[in-house]
Amino acid sequence: MKGIATVFRGSDALGTVQYSFTLHDDGRVTGTVVHVDHGSLHPSAPRVPPNFLPHSVIETDLHLRLSDGTAVDFLILDATGRIANGRRRQEH
C-alpha cells in the first residue's frame, strides 16, 4: 500500500510524507516513510525540526492516518525512513 499522508507526533502535524507500507494480518505494519513536504506546518510550531527523519537513530511517537480511517503508529528506524514497531489501529 502506497500513498501520501500527514504525519503527527502526538497532536502536532509534522508535515506530509510519502509512505509505502505492508499491512500484515496480525496488525503489524512494515515499510518506509519518506519526507515529502513540511509546507503544511503552522507558523507557530518553531519547535518542530525542519526534517523529522533522524540523522542518527529513532524518532518516537509518530503516526499517520490512511485514507480508509486506519491509523498507523510507528518509530523511524534510520535515516532511510524504515519504520519499526509499526502497528495499525482504527481511529475513533
- In tens, the pLDDT along 71-84 reads 999 988 877 888 98
CB under 8 Å to 27, separation ≥6 — which residues? 87, 88, 89
- Its domain, for residue 50, covers 2-90
Q: Evaluate if residue 13 carries a pLDDT over 80.
A: yes
The whole-model pTM stands at 0.72
Helix, strand, coil share of the chain (percent; to 5): 0, 60, 40
pLDDT of 60: 62
Number of domains in the chain: 1
